[in-house]
Amino acid sequence: MKKFIKLTTLLFLALFVSVVFIAAGSKEKAAPEKEAEEVQAVKIEKPAPGYHKPEVSTRMIDTSKYKKPAPWTIGFSNASLSNSWRVSFVAHLRYGIEELKKQGLVKNYYETNANDDPVKQIADIEDLVTKGVDLLIVSAATAEALTPAVEKVMDQGIPVITVDRNISSDKYVTFVEASSTEMGKLQAQWLAAELQGKGNVVCLPGLAGATPAEDRLAAAKKVFSQFPGIKILDVQYTSWSPVEGKRIMQTLIQKYPQIDGVWADSGLQGSGAAEAFMDAGMEVPPITGEDFNRFLKMWKKNNLTAVGVTFSVRMGYEAVQIAKKVLQGEEVPHHDVVPNLVITEENLDQYVRMDLPDDYWAESMPEVAEMLFGK
Amino acid sequence: MSPQVETEGLVYRLTCYFKDPIRRNTFLEKSSIYLILFFVFLVATIASPVFIKARNILNVIRLASILGVVTVGQTFVILGGGIDLSVASVMALMSILSANMMEGKNELVLPVSLFCLGVAILIGLANGLLVAKLRIPPFITTLGMLLMVQGFRFIYSGGMPKGSIPDDLRILGRDLFLRIPVATWICIAVGFISWLILSSTTLGRSIYAVGGNRRCAYLSGIKVERVQIVTYVLSSFWAGFAGLLLTGWIGVADNWLGRGYELDSIAAVVIGGSVLTGGKGSVWGSLAGALMLAILYNIVVLLGLDVEMQRIVKGLVIISAVALYRRLSVR
């Protein structure tokens, strides 16, 4: 009797799971196929190629109390070097430091890498303070965990500049970043303009739950919602992986017979998605990305219709410029936003580097590219 | 005898055969994974008409084949009583090394691939020696190896992988041969060779023995340590091979290639009927498990499930499959 009950429970479990699948499947079929309506084409301009600086309202910070005579000791606590974007970003920071060293303004530079572990990063910050840094630059592994550590440093009178990722309180001198919201918005605006306000669009954001990915997706959705003619067919997270991008895109190609545009926040999954179309023998629809070199190379080689809006690796260099101002007692903004570069077919040739590897970030300063690749 | 009588006789003999509970259970146990696979396939087809489209099926079996090659290696290790968590790390290493050394040149594909596979074999050898000679638990050894290979990868590439993948390697990962993906032909060949080794050679029998009861195997005169080392070498070798295939498919050097494949391969082996403690299981069952996982990955996207829902569903199906297998197995 017991065995019978167990067996039937399992069969019911199996049945339940299959019902979930079939229900989910039929929900897809039941949803009426809304045809892209004939609408008055809403006027939208494609973003112009070149730099776009978003409007940021912020207050200026008086840094006279941090003024110190040169040469300085600067410390940088990095969250991780887990992908080539971060490597490029840190290279820009190091280049900024090198410049200051040459000017005799910096005598010591210490850098730590926490490997995405917030606990290690807290220890790293304590080490840097013990080493006697005049200023700390931090890219926090997680906002919550690092907040007390950063606040403690500020309490000790050492100025802190947060870059790329922030803490959750307001206790820092300046937060340097590029706007993810602006990035997603510009990409979506380009796509909406390219499609002239109507068509079927697939969204491929990055890592589920990561603030840059969520901010960009929210901004893009907001833009698309202004166009009743644009229908978002699907939103699938890709973990910023070319493998995931290609795998998911090739499945979506089978599912949706008509895909007019692809919004991807990065060329990492974007390059995978483009390849999925090419493998299927289809023309690649208009697609968005940023300055990931593989994406740009593919764009150039295959004559794609695409746009790149960068999440600037130069913010590392900018953080050092702000550091210099702080230690010289100059006023700095509390929130410093680095402009996003828009790459279109007009300026593509300026940025794509066919001679450099796929993992080159095309907005890099030429001096840094030289440093990393020797060319 | 007349055909009528013969058929009746056959039916009678079959029913008698399956009336025996032990016989019935053995049949169910051996074929449960295929029944589960067929069931999943059926549910997927009903749930989404797109699933059964030729191009989609080809996409699914291509990725299933690459996972399958890793799973075959993992089967060897698990049958022998161990586990290999370093397979995904090895796959990513293949990606970085091959792109950097091949530099897009077709003539370098073969020599560099052989070199990469050699590196994979060395990693397997290290795993095997640590487990067999130093008696470090396989979970810890291979976890440590995963991290060491990862560290080496980042030092070697400086965080920015260089080079590019030549077209010839892409053929292996991406193209079709006689309307079926090349990767699938390779997976079937790998499965066949492995099945032969496991079922018809002394080595194969020894692996089952060592996994089943190491002490008994040792007392029976089997060179337990040697057998263990061989399983780890095979696992890393096949993981390396799969890494080259996946790199060929994606066409770019990726420090995180194959992420998740270690857990997927272990899940596939267990779904396929192998016991995690070792000594029981088959290559074909594991491959069926890999195919089932690939179908799952495909169907959750086709059904448009939210990413959270996707994870819940995958976990539920894996647990159900293993629980069902347990229920149907011979007591």
What are chain A's domains? 60-179+313-338 (3.40.50.2300)
User: B44 CB contacts (<8 Å, ≥6 apart)?
Assistant: A21, B51, B295, B298, B299
Residues in chain B: 331
Distance CA B288, CA B38 (A): 10
Chain A to chain B Cβ contacts (< 8 Å): 120
φ, ψ at A306 (rounded to 5°): -150, 170
- As a whole number, mean pLDDT of residues A82-107 equals 93
Least Cα separation, residue A152 to chain B (angstroms): 31
> What are the chain B neighbours of A373 within 8 Å (beta carbons)?
162
Is the distance from CB of A363 to CB of A87 less than 8 angstroms?
no
* Contact state of A252 with B301 under an 8 Å Cβ cutoff: yes
pLDDT of residue B40: 87
* Contact state of B320 with A357 under an 8 Å Cβ cutoff: no
Is the distance from CB of A307 to CB of A80 less than 8 angstroms?
no
pLDDT of residue B328: 65
Is the distance from CB of B276 to CB of B97 less than 8 angstroms?
no
Least Cα separation, residue A251 to chain B (angstroms): 7
Distance CA A154, CA A160 (A): 6
- Assess whether the previous peptide bond of B161 is cis (omega < 30° from 0): no
A10 falls in which pLDDT band (50, 70, 90)?
low
**B269 within a domain of the structure (yes/no):** yes
User: What's the CATH number where B83 sits?
Assistant: 1.10.3470
Q: Strand order in A160-163's β-sheet?
A: A106-113, A72-78, A135-138, A160-163, A174-178, A335-338
**B127 within a domain of the structure (yes/no):** yes
**B183 within a domain of the structure (yes/no):** yes
**B3 within a domain of the structure (yes/no):** no
pLDDT of residue A83: 84
User: B264 CB contacts (<8 Å, ≥6 apart)?
Assistant: B67, B70, B71, B290, B293
Return the SS3 of A231. Answer: strand
pLDDT tens-place string over residues A35-77: 444 445 567 888 999 999 888 889 999 999 999 998 999 999 9
> What are the chain A neighbours of B317 within 8 Å (beta carbons)?
17
* Contact state of B47 with A24 under an 8 Å Cβ cutoff: yes
Distance CA B146, CA B193 (A): 27
Longest dimension (CA), chain B: 79
| pLDDT surpasses 80 at A9 | no
**B314 within a domain of the structure (yes/no):** yes
Is the distance from CB of A255 to CB of B302 less than 8 angstroms?
yes
**B295 within a domain of the structure (yes/no):** yes
Distance CA A324, CA A72 (A): 9
Distance CA B172, CA A141 (A): 39
Count how many domains chain B has: 1
pLDDT of residue A190: 95
* Contact state of A250 with B307 under an 8 Å Cβ cutoff: no
Where are any strands of DSSP class E within chain A? 50-52, 60-61, 72-78, 106-113, 135-138, 160-163, 174-178, 199-204, 230-235, 261-264, 287-289, 306-309, 332-333, 335-338, 340-343
**B18 within a domain of the structure (yes/no):** no
Distance CA B34, CA A105 (A): 70
- Is the CB of residue B55 less than 8 Å away from at least one CB of chain A? yes
Distance CA B145, CA A136 (A): 35
pLDDT tens-place string over residues A169-185: 999 999 999 999 999 99
Distance CA B294, CA B291 (A): 5
Work out the mean pLDDT of chain A and round it to a whole number: 89
pLDDT of residue A33: 45
Find the closest chain B residue to A24 by CA distance.
B303
Chunked mean pLDDT (size 10), chain B, 331 residues:
79 75 69 84 90 92 96 95 95 94 90 96 97 94 95 89 88 87 95 94 93 91 94 97 94 89 91 83 92 91 83 81 69 47
* Contact state of B161 with A359 under an 8 Å Cβ cutoff: yes
pTM (predicted TM-score): 0.85
- Distance in angstroms between the alpha carbons of the first and the last residue of chain B: 40
pLDDT tens-place string over residues A259-297: 999 999 999 999 999 999 999 999 999 999 999 999 999
User: B312 CB contacts (<8 Å, ≥6 apart)?
Assistant: none
Distance CA B28, CA B122 (A): 40
Tokens 């939208």 found at: A44
B84: alpha, beta or left? (left if phi > 0; alpha if psi -120 to 50): beta
* Contact state of B320 with A14 under an 8 Å Cβ cutoff: yes
* Contact state of A84 with B254 under an 8 Å Cβ cutoff: no
pLDDT of residue A31: 44
pLDDT tens-place string over residues A102-160: 999 999 999 999 988 999 999 999 999 999 999 999 999 888 899 999 999 999 999 99
Tokens 């695409």 found at: A306
Find the closest chain B residue to A29 by CA distance.
B48
B102 DSSP β-pair partners: none
> What are the chain B neighbours of A18 within 8 Å (beta carbons)?
39, 43
The residue segments making up the domain with residue B115 are 31-328
Q: How many CB atoms lie within 10 A of CB A61?
A: 17
Interface of B with A in 236-255 (CB under 8 A): 246, 249-255
Find the closest chain B residue to A202 by CA distance.
B304
> Which 8-state DSSP code applies to residue A45?
P
> What are the chain A neighbours of B46 within 8 Å (beta carbons)?
22, 25
**B19 within a domain of the structure (yes/no):** no
pLDDT tens-place string over residues A215-266: 999 999 999 999 999 999 999 999 898 999 999 999 999 999 999 999 999 9
